[in-house]
Amino acid sequence: MSTLLLDGRAVRAALLPALADRVKALIRPPTLAIVQVGKREDSTAFIKAKIAFGEKIGVNVKHIHLPDTITQQELIAKIQECNADDSIHGIIVQLPLPIALDQDAITEAVDPCKDTDCLTSYSVKRWMEGREDALLPATTRGVKELLAHYKIDLFGKNVVVVGRSMLVGKPLAAFAMNENATVTVCHSKTADLAAETKKADVLIVAAGRPGFIGADQVKEGAIVIDVGINTIKGEKLEDEVSGRKLVGDVDFDAVQPIAGAITPVPGGVGPMTVVALFENLIDICMR
Amino acid sequence: MSTLLLDGRAVRAALLPALADRVKALIRPPTLAIVQVGKREDSTAFIKAKIAFGEKIGVNVKHIHLPDTITQQELIAKIQECNADDSIHGIIVQLPLPIALDQDAITEAVDPCKDTDCLTSYSVKRWMEGREDALLPATTRGVKELLAHYKIDLFGKNVVVVGRSMLVGKPLAAFAMNENATVTVCHSKTADLAAETKKADVLIVAAGRPGFIGADQVKEGAIVIDVGINTIKGEKLEDEVSGRKLVGDVDFDAVQPIAGAITPVPGGVGPMTVVALFENLIDICMR
């Protein structure tokens, strides 16, 4: 049995024309504001990828770059400025923020109507409920669109999510649950990880640990979605984060022969996350 | 091996003096407003139980009874009145509401600072994140307090939750996950329910289907928490809902000999839910 490669770059390319058409159908081109504090290299690289994709589909991306000496109050004031600015349709606060800032208070400052990342309370409750009109956080929507492209349905399947973060693990679990999967969430305190992951028809890994899932932890024929984006400094250049090598949470070479389908890293969920972000923005504009 | 009965009535009685002391320590006795629309018998009975418990610990319960002809706008105005009233510390909108009303818009109208049921977006995000200062929905907190009383720790355990509602299944799953359990959520679309439930060290059932879980679905020695409160009309009087017989989602007589510990219905999670509601109210008053 040959393994299907879930090729995020190819799907992104396939979805691009339709996205560009959706943008053209809007009364005016949308603008996404990305607020960055400080100059983490990986954040800068991710933002560059977003700007580049925005250009391709006719979306303006306004990169608001603030010094890491900014106070919480000043940052919230800046976000409120974006909230009030009718020429800005979506707002992203690039995470992580410097430790001194209260990430929760800052993400809550985003107007829910412009909350492209779906991190405000308003958005969280909606995606958790699984409302039809709920937007999903970009990574989750990226996985959703990737599965949809390959016609992989979660209905009645055993989905195992490794990771329980508010950014990735929890929204992915809620999504799969709302898609009628039976969902198990594992994490660092799971007693027997392999026993759990081997039961997965669909294994979604968002542990943030390079090469964490090996062949012993995967059932023959399982669909393996690797959400891990671990950057290893000083290695060869890759397209998602320049100047760093990206590796996933799954040991691709070991797992690929066993899996029924698998995402590579880079080139799997990463490119889909960028697509999903702009899908969210366009949905916001169409409301 | 004898089965431990997780006796919610006994635990409620044991916790009552401490609760009354917490109330006495407040500057003024707290007031909980319960907004009821229409006159569903089960709702009325639940409210009576809350009023009775409130009296025992020195909390005023203000039962605001509105006709089922009320419009959405009028109901929201009433809730806003409660929000603005400094003599009211907590607000509950008794669910379910008549179908004509938008339950989500109405629960969102409650001031998050008075949200005793933890159903507003503000509360949902906090309990989902598992913040230390997050209040939990009453049923979830009731289960938490019951487990704590019997010194049952979820750390590293396999917890299976049957049911995925926003009121019960999802917050219980989030709670167990945040307590470091490995959590599986099953529901009506789960392909092989018994295969899942038999893996549970702790099985929490919130399916809303009388006698749904039988002996074949439970692992020897498992802890079984039955959240089901199904009322069967015209049967003998029980103390939680007068004039109706209550049965759980678990076939108690069949499962009890297998389980390591089990909650009865009535007298298990039900009484703990009432306790938890008032714990939430007192926590709100102490902020």
- Cβ of A158 within 8 Å of Cβ of B191? The answer is yes
Inter-residue contact A140 to A168 (CB < 8 Å): yes
pLDDT higher than threshold 80 for residue B17: yes
Q: Is the dihedral of CA B92, B94, B97, B98 positive or negative?
A: negative
- Residue A266's contacts (CB-CB under 8 Å, 6 or more residues apart) are A229, A238, A239, A240, A246
pLDDT higher than threshold 50 for residue B15: yes
Sort B174 into a burial class: Cβ within 10 Å, 0-12 / 13-18 / 19+.
buried
Topology (CATH) of A137-270 = Rossmann fold (3.40.50)
The full set of domain ranges for chain A reads 29-113, 137-270
Inter-residue contact A197 to A203 (CB < 8 Å): yes
Supply φ then ψ for residue B172, to 5 degrees. -65, -40
Sort A200 into a burial class: Cβ within 10 Å, 0-12 / 13-18 / 19+.
buried
pLDDT higher than threshold 80 for residue B143: yes
CA distances from B11 to A178, B14, B148 (A): 35, 5, 10
Residues of A with active-site annotation: 50, 94, 117
Chain A partners of B158 at a C-beta cutoff of 8 Å? 191
Q: Is the complex ipTM more than 0.90?
A: yes
The model's pLDDT over B193-242, given as tens digits with 9 standing for 90+, comes to 999 999 999 999 999 999 999 999 999 999 999 999 887 765 544 444 55
Q: Do domains A29-113 and A137-270 have the same CATH topology?
A: yes
| Mean pLDDT computed over every residue of chain B | 95
Q: Which residues in chain A show pLDDT less than 50?
A: 236-239
Inter-residue contact B201 to B183 (CB < 8 Å): no
Supply the DSSP string of B168-225, one letter for each residue. THHHHHHHHHHTT-EEEEE-TT-S-HHHHHTT-SEEEE----TT-B-GGGS-TT-EEE
Cβ–Cβ pairs < 8 A, chains A and B: 77
Residues of B with active-site annotation: 50, 94, 117
- Residue whose tokens read 């949809």: A148
Q: What pLDDT, on a 0 to 100 scale, did the predictor assign at position A20?
A: 98
Q: What pLDDT, on a 0 to 100 scale, did the predictor assign at position A56?
A: 97
- Cβ of B128 within 8 Å of Cβ of A190? The answer is no
A172 closest CA partner among A96, A75, A276, A49: A276
CA distances from B135 to B30, B88, B120, B173, B175 (A): 17, 18, 11, 15, 11
- Cβ of B180 within 8 Å of Cβ of A196? The answer is no
The model's pLDDT over A154-194, given as tens digits with 9 standing for 90+, comes to 999 999 999 999 999 999 999 999 999 999 999 999 999 99
pLDDT higher than threshold 80 for residue B43: yes
Helix (H, G, I), strand (E, B) or coil at A130: coil
A159 closest CA partner among B157, B189, B258: B189
- Residue whose tokens read 């390079």: A210
| Superfamily name with CATH number, domain B136-271 | NAD(P)-binding Rossmann-like Domain (3.40.50.720)
Tokens of B29: 């006795």
pLDDT higher than threshold 80 for residue B1: no
pLDDT band at B161 (very low <50, low <70, confident <90, very high): very high
How far apart are the CA of B276 and the nearest CA of chain A, in angstroms? Answer: 22
Of the options 3.30.70.20, 3.40.50.10860, 3.40.50.720, 3.40.50.300, the CATH number for the domain spanning A29-113:
3.40.50.10860
Class of domain B28-113: alpha beta
- Residue A195's contacts (CB-CB under 8 Å, 6 or more residues apart) are none
Helix (H, G, I), strand (E, B) or coil at B243: coil
Q: Which residues of B touch A (CB under 8 A)?
A: 120-122, 124-125, 128-129, 155-158, 164, 166, 170, 173-174, 177, 180-187, 189-191, 196
Inter-residue contact B205 to B162 (CB < 8 Å): yes
